[in-house]
Structure 1
Amino acid sequence: MTIFHDLLRSSAATHGGRIALLFGEEQLSYEDVLVRAEGLAVKLTSEGIGPDDHLAVVMDNSLECVLVWLASSIIGCTEVPVNPQYRGTLLHYMLADAQVTAAVCDACYLPGILDVAAQLPDLKRVLVNGHDAGSGSFPVTIRSLDVSATPEQFVGVESAPERIILYTSGTTGPSKGVVHTQRSMLVLSRYNAEVMGYGEHDRLLNFFPLFHQNARYTGVIPALCSGASIRIERKLSTSTFWQTCDRDRITAFNYLGSVLRMILNVTGPERHTGMHSVKKAFGAGASPGVWAEFEDRLGIALYETYGLSEAPMATLNLPENRSPRGSAGRASALFDVAVVDEDDELRPAGEMGEIVLRPRRADALMAGYHNNDAATAHALRGGWFHSGDRGFLNAAGDLYFEERAKDSIRRRGENISAWEVESVLEQHPAVAEAAVCGVACDDREEEVAASLIPSDANASLADIVAFARQRLPAYAVPTLMRLVPDLPRTPTAKVRKEELRAVPRASYCALPAACKQEGLLE
């Protein structure tokens, strides 16, 4: 029996008919979750999915998505949660790099998978939720998947990899697959539930995508560990946020800094301590001003953290042992934290450097990067995980996260790989070279800005952004573009991204406004 299968069985035995999951008008008890997940595991097995498979899940947030994820964890195969907005080159890269042998997808994402399936020698079958597979000639076997199939008990497996591959945003190269195990993710989930004090009285709210570690292992699994309930939304709707909290008596939710500002923007003066059910929130990136609004006016305690897919919940800023607002707090029970210079020497308090982490508990840190021993060795050199992030520690040991030293951009809660956006833009025949960076806007979020050297004097930004929209997730499509004769470079011809980040916003074409006129953007 796998780690998560045992969790589902013990939770069902303990909590039985208590509500576990809610989505829309649907709700499942702890017993329902076990029965439905085991039945679906039987169905997947009958379709040829076994412990040796690498199974990609390409689905929007839904109960079906949760059940497919849990069923695959019962089977014990290697799970690969995939951002369903990925398409073309990026989708092909991820499925190929993860050596995906099978996939489950929503019907709307089948065409994107079929577009790249012929170039994926490992991919053998695709199971489609909400779709009649019909007939036709396809490069892989396509079958319909009835997620609501008749329940059937799954006996269990004797041994299985029980691995999860979570893809980072790429930095100066393609995204890397972070390998964790069910055991390591259960360590994280139980620690999160312990820190947050979750219990049967809690009802959580999740609006982050289920391919994220955040939603899975600091959301759904902590709820199931503690007897709580969790409402899953397809995405954040600020217009209905408080209505949902009131209706379901939500007590906790996860956040990013930009999410908190969006919630404050729709929070009227009648909302204050004692006038709602929300007690606490877990996340990262809360600015001091927003933090004060949530805690002092709304009475919602923020549990701030710093971490990465490789090393989650590395620090904590907790209400009962508060560090200064705006800091990510001090080392958690999972990691030691230090800041080093380029020679890996410790930096004095208050001086900027790279944040490095060392696990205090077994399974707190990733097992490594999938099929990338060189990257694993580089990241784990000297006995510490090198985050690539910049920050400093004050004399009390509080961590202040400054920026991603890696070449990534933060937008709409996503870390976007500048390299991946550049690689797509450079596929356009009118683009000779692309350089992408983040341009700061409110709440520590960024816009994606692209500087392009054209290969064609008649290059059209409208054509280029339309090309990008067909090949990139919506949140990664540049909103600022400009054509330039050359790019600022180092003596070794590398692009100076720091100079590009200093380019005034007015120097770019603001694409949403420009392209609406041509009917290219909604």
Structure 2
Amino acid sequence: MDIMGDRTLPALLKEKVDIHPEKLFIAFEDVEGNQTTKAYREFYEEVLKLGNALLDLNIKPGDHVTLHLPNNIEFLTTWFALAHIGAIMVPTNILSSADEMHYVINHSESVLLITEEEHVEKFLQMTGELPTIQHIILTRFKNQSTTLLNYDHLIAKASTDSSRFPEVRAQDVVGMLYTSGTTSKPKGVQVTNANYIFTGELMSKCIVATEDDRMFIVLPLFHGNAQYYSSMPALVVGGSIALTEKFSASRYFKQAKSLGATVGSLFAAPIRMILAKDYDANDKDNPIRLVLFAQSIAEHQIQEFEEKFDLKLLQLYGMTETVGIPLINPLNGIRKNLSIGRPSIGYEVKLIDENGDEVPNGAVGQIAVKGVPGRTIMKQYFKNEEATRQTLQNGWLLTGDNARIGEDGYFYFVDRVKDMIKRSGENVAAQEVESVLTQHLAVYETAVIGVPDDMRDEAIKAFVILNKGMRVTQEELIQFCKVRLAKFKVPDSIEFVEEFPRTPVGKIQKHILRNSYSIK
């Protein structure tokens, strides 16, 4: 038996409730600064009530339920309520456009949508195009509606009796996280009970978490980061969660102090945003001992952040598909935060060439992670056997990211095999942006790349060839994209060109575009 055994999320939560019934589990601050707390028992009872309410709505084991929510307590409650009845959470980005949500809901065949009044209009405009959706529930909803269900009303009428809950198993899928790929359509990553428990066990041991720790979640809960690296280790050790509705660079440490947070998790871009704000010396007096981060930042920024706020930074590497973090810097060893660390507990990591052969130390190769599908790595992609076969090969998960191993044994990130852009912590598939741009009548062909950006990791730059005789401005094309793409996917700049550098078979050579941009 491995470390997960046959445990499930419902069993793990019940265990912690039995041990810490009155202990604070969640401290939440909304966008207006109002704070709400939930003890373990209080949270658990609401989970049971929501589980019963969902059963009353005929939600069955294996059903997909789309969560289109900002960070709030209801998000966490719904996640665990669905796990209790064997249903599957499909968390989505509230910035996603109607077109993007149309695809996710229909691809996932979701039977229920849970969102908020602020975001519901884009769904109401296409209800006839979402044939599987049976109900829409609104959280934090203060008005009356004849067609939409009120989360609070459902909870108020429901029972805490769990006797009619179905049996759930460790290998059951409980989450499906859509992640952008090199194609224009995102893929649904299936995550099991065992997956979530594994990453909680792994992370808690890597950061030496205890029941006195309070994980600080400011990144969106729909991301694997907040679920894998913060929520799960808190629950595994019987700790607690400090949750904010939105990230605020100027208030990050003030919120941490107010909510009692001890361990944070950020991307490189938010760290740079915090450093760009006027420094308040009072922020050095904060309870945070450690901030996990992903994506590279400059050495001087690492040093400045640690000194100004009296904490440790710890760079790691993971992705939605790996579930846990296969690479991380050692907390109690030599932290080389310009690297992505060394292999962590429960994983084997190697670098391979195009033929699948391991490359020697110092050479660049694709990161491959050895794991067990549905336990230490994702189970599979939903309704996408070909993508699953390409990613999971002979017990190894191929990440699509290139790295090299230094003489010190640490892994150093090089670039992405996949044509991806990392903008402020969000993955953007270049082809997705290209497919939208080419929908414009004036556009003949386009190539989209990521270019270095001091604040957002990468900015999105599009090169466009126009149809003969057609004219359009950069501003008009950007506005065209704003209507069809989430805000973080919209190009920052557009350059009109006459031709693209190409291979002999006509493929656009994006590396030449990147090089030409970097020397300007």
**TM-score, length-normalised on structure 1?**
0.89
Q: Deviations over 1:435-458 (max 9, x none)?
A: 211111126700011122233623
Give the partner amino acid of 2:250: S
Q: Which residue of 2 aligns with 1:518?
A: none
Q: Which residue of 1 aligns with 2:166?
A: 157
Whole-Å Cα distance in 2 between the matches of residues 377 and 424 of structure 1? 28
> Given the alignment, which residue of 436, 439, 457 partners 2:448?
436
> Given the alignment, which residue of 405, 410, 413 partners 2:422?
410
Q: Deviations over 1:107-157 (max 9, x none)?
A: 22222223444333433332233275745xxxxx75343365245213321
| Structure 1 pair 119–308 and aligned structure 2 pair: CA distance change class (3 A) | same
Q: Deviations over 1:289-313 (max 9, x none)?
A: 2332344554312232111111130
Q: Which residue of 2 aligns with 1:201?
A: 212
In the TM superposition, 1:471-490 aligns within 5 A as 471-490=484-503
1:354 correspondence with 2:366 = yes
**TM-score, length-normalised on structure 2?**
0.90
Q: Which residue of 2 aligns with 1:493?
A: 506
| Structure 1 pair 444–143 and aligned structure 2 pair: CA distance change class (3 A) | closer
**Equivalent residue of 1:127, what SS?**
strand
**Equivalent residue of 2:340, what SS?**
coil
Cα pair 2:262 2:288 within 8 Å, conserved: yes
> Given the alignment, which residue of 82, 103, 106 partners 2:92?
82
Whole-Å Cα distance in 1 between the matches of residues 220 and 448 of structure 2? 25
Unpaired segments ≥5 residues, structure 1: 136-140, 508-522
Cα pair 1:208 1:215 within 8 Å, conserved: yes
Give the partner amino acid of 2:192: T
Q: Deviations over 1:213-232 (max 9, x none)?
A: 11112112221222222111
| Structure 1 pair 325–505 and aligned structure 2 pair: CA distance change class (3 A) | closer
**Equivalent residue of 2:132, what SS?**
coil
Give the partner amino acid of 1:331: P
1:331 correspondence with 2:338 = no
Whole-Å Cα distance in 2 between the matches of residues 435 and 171 of structure 1? 13
Whole-Å Cα distance in 1 between the matches of residues 213 and 396 of structure 2? 36
Shift of 1:44: 1.6
Q: Which residue of 2 aligns with 1:510?
A: none
Whole-Å Cα distance in 2 between the matches of residues 444 and 266 of structure 1? 15
Q: Deviations over 1:453-493 (max 9, x none)?
A: 23362323322222211221111111111223333322222
Aligned Cα root-mean-square deviation (Å):
2.5
Q: Which residue of 1 aligns with 2:50?
A: 40
Whole-Å Cα distance in 2 between the matches of residues 63 and 444 of structure 1? 28
Cα pair 2:474 2:493 within 8 Å, conserved: no
Whole-Å Cα distance in 2 between the matches of residues 131 and 429 of structure 1? 44
Whole-Å Cα distance in 2 between the matches of residues 301 and 472 of structure 1? 37
Give the partner amino acid of 1:395: E
Shift of 1:367: 0.9
1:13 correspondence with 2:18 = yes
493-502 or 30-39: bigger deviation: 493-502
Whole-Å Cα distance in 2 between the matches of residues 185 and 203 of structure 1? 18
| Structure 1 pair 487–45 and aligned structure 2 pair: CA distance change class (3 A) | same
Cα pair 2:24 2:40 within 8 Å, conserved: yes
| Structure 1 pair 8–159 and aligned structure 2 pair: CA distance change class (3 A) | closer
Cα pair 2:348 2:369 within 8 Å, conserved: yes
Cα pair 1:333 1:360 within 8 Å, conserved: no
Whole-Å Cα distance in 2 between the matches of residues 294 and 463 of structure 1? 39
Runs of 4+ in 1 over 4 A off after TM superposition: none
Q: Which residue of 2 aligns with 1:101?
A: 111
Work out the number of aligned pairs and report it: 501
Whole-Å Cα distance in 2 between the matches of residues 20 and 75 of structure 1? 22
In the TM superposition, 1:152-191 aligns within 5 A as 152-153=159-160, 154-155=162-163, 156-159=165-168, 161-191=172-202
Whole-Å Cα distance in 2 between the matches of residues 142 and 306 of structure 1? 41
Q: Deviations over 1:284-338 (max 9, x none)?
A: 2243323323445543122321111111300111131225331111111121111
Cα pair 1:339 1:391 within 8 Å, conserved: yes
Cα pair 1:302 1:318 within 8 Å, conserved: no
1:313 correspondence with 2:291 = no
Whole-Å Cα distance in 1 between the matches of residues 264 and 375 of structure 2? 25
**Equivalent residue of 1:397, what SS?**
coil
Whole-Å Cα distance in 2 between the matches of residues 124 and 306 of structure 1? 39
Q: Which residue of 2 aligns with 1:520?
A: none
Whole-Å Cα distance in 2 between the matches of residues 490 and 258 of structure 1? 34
Whole-Å Cα distance in 1 between the matches of residues 248 and 452 of structure 2? 24
In the TM superposition, 1:108-119 aligns within 5 A as 108-119=118-129
Q: Which residue of 2 aligns with 1:145?
A: 151
1:279 correspondence with 2:289 = yes
318-327 or 183-192: bigger deviation: 318-327
439-448 or 258-267: bigger deviation: 258-267
Whole-Å Cα distance in 2 between the matches of residues 131 and 245 of structure 1? 29
Cα pair 2:206 2:331 within 8 Å, conserved: no
Whole-Å Cα distance in 1 between the matches of residues 232 and 312 of structure 2? 21
Whole-Å Cα distance in 2 between the matches of residues 263 and 401 of structure 1? 24
Unpaired segments ≥5 residues, structure 2: 1-5, 30-34
Cα pair 2:371 2:395 within 8 Å, conserved: no
**Equivalent residue of 1:327, what SS?**
coil
Give the partner amino acid of 2:166: V
1:51 correspondence with 2:81 = no
1:504 correspondence with 2:517 = yes
> Given the alignment, which residue of 350, 358, 381 partners 1:369?
381
Q: Which residue of 2 aligns with 1:29?
A: 39
Q: Deviations over 1:186-226 (max 9, x none)?
A: 11012212222222322221111111111112112221222
**Equivalent residue of 1:107, what SS?**
coil
Q: Which residue of 1 aligns with 2:301?
A: 290
In the TM superposition, 1:452-471 aligns within 5 A as 452-455=464-467, 457-471=470-484
| Structure 1 pair 115–436 and aligned structure 2 pair: CA distance change class (3 A) | farther
Cα pair 1:174 1:419 within 8 Å, conserved: no
Whole-Å Cα distance in 2 between the matches of residues 202 and 324 of structure 1? 24
| Structure 1 pair 382–430 and aligned structure 2 pair: CA distance change class (3 A) | same
| Structure 1 pair 101–360 and aligned structure 2 pair: CA distance change class (3 A) | closer
Give the partner amino acid of 2:96: Y
